């Protein structure tokens, strides 16, 4: 079993603290079986539960780790090293944490499921996960990311910072009303100039106007007029919000679509139908 990161989300089911959520996530661990956690600061509740049931807990920094430079990276586990690995084809600052957890699991299973170094390299090169910091070719640049909690939004912000300069960033943002919308916006508000807010086709989704209220409460500023350097607009669907962003963005700008799986799915459907 692998637990990657633990952060506040789905609080109505999992609890409202990392300790409570860590305990719930640790419920996938099994007695006498390998349990991998790649969270750099794992909740103590997760560690305690693994110990209580007799799981073989592998922790990042204690049982496995990674090092690397801009060209390649290395994995080190309890009894296995994998050196000179190419970076995963998935973009994002957290990918080596996830990749290390996968290699720890393979190390634990190597007697039953041997995987060669070449197979590992091929796997990292060929892996694909639509909607997870997916950067689409063309101009303006379009980024799809299903980030829908503050932890994921912070990672998205870091990834945007690593992309280089773009004159303006447009956001197509839709979210469920029970999410920590202020926390998500707090991570990204200094990176986004123009917000295209969208309703989503679920009863528990926030409307565009509700999202606008949350943005204003979170300190997002909007200007008026055609030459405004910042703006907040509301739309009835991701397709309409995306179309507006696309109509205003310059070829050197970027559009980031995030906040919910449904937000990203709506824009993906619009692009597939020929909207772009």
Instruction: Kindly report the pTM of this predicted structure.
Output: 0.69
* pLDDT score, position 155: 87
**Percentage of residues of the chain with pLDDT beyond 70:** 95
Which tens digit of pLDDT belongs to each residue from 21-76?
Answer: 899 999 999 999 999 999 999 999 999 999 999 999 999 999 999 998 878 999 99
Q: Are strands 169-173 and 141-144 parallel, antiparallel or unpaired?
A: unpaired
Which two structure tokens, joined as six digits, stand for 273? 């139908």
Rounded-to-integer distance, Cα 105 and Cα 43, Å: 20
Which tens digit of pLDDT belongs to each residue from 128-178?
Answer: 777 888 899 889 999 999 998 888 899 899 999 989 899 999 999 999 998
230 φ/ψ sector (left φ>0, alpha ψ -120 to 50, else beta): beta
Rounded-to-integer distance, Cα 19 and Cα 43, Å: 5
């Amino acid at each position: 079993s692998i637990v990657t990161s633990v952060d506040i989300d789905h609080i109505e089911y999992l609890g409202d603290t990392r300790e409570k959520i860590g305990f719930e996530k640790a419920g996938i661990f099994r007695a006498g079986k390998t349990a991998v956690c790649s969270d750099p600061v794992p909740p103590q509740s997760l560690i305690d539960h693994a110990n209580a049931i007799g799981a073989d807990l592998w922790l990042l920094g204690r049982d496995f780790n990674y090092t690397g430079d801009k060209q390649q990276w290395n994995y080190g586990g309890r009894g296995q090293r994998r050196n000179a690995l190419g970076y995963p084809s998935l973009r994002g600052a957290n990918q080596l944490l996830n990749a290390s957890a996968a290699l720890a699991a393979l190390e634990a299973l190597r007697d039953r499921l041997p995987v060669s170094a070449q197979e590992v390299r091929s796997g990292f090169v060929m892996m694909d996960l639509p909607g997870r910091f997916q950067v689409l070719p063309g101009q303006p640049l379009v980024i799809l990311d299903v980030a829908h909690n503050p932890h994921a939004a912070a990672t998205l912000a870091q990834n945007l910072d690593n992309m280089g300069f773009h004159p303006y960033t447009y956001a197509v943002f839709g979210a469920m009303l029970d999410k920590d919308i202020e926390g998500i916006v707090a991570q990204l508000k200094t990176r986004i100039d123009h917000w295209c807010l969208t309703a989503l086709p679920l009863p528990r989704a926030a409307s565009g106007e509700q999202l606008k209220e949350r943005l204003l409460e979170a300190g997002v500023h909007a200007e008026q007029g055609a030459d405004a350097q910042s703006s907040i607009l509301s739309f009835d669907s991701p397709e309409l919000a995306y179309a507006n962003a696309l109509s205003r963005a310059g070829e050197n700008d970027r559009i980031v679509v995030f906040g919910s799986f449904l937000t990203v799915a709506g824009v993906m459907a619009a692009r597939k139908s020929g909207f772009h």
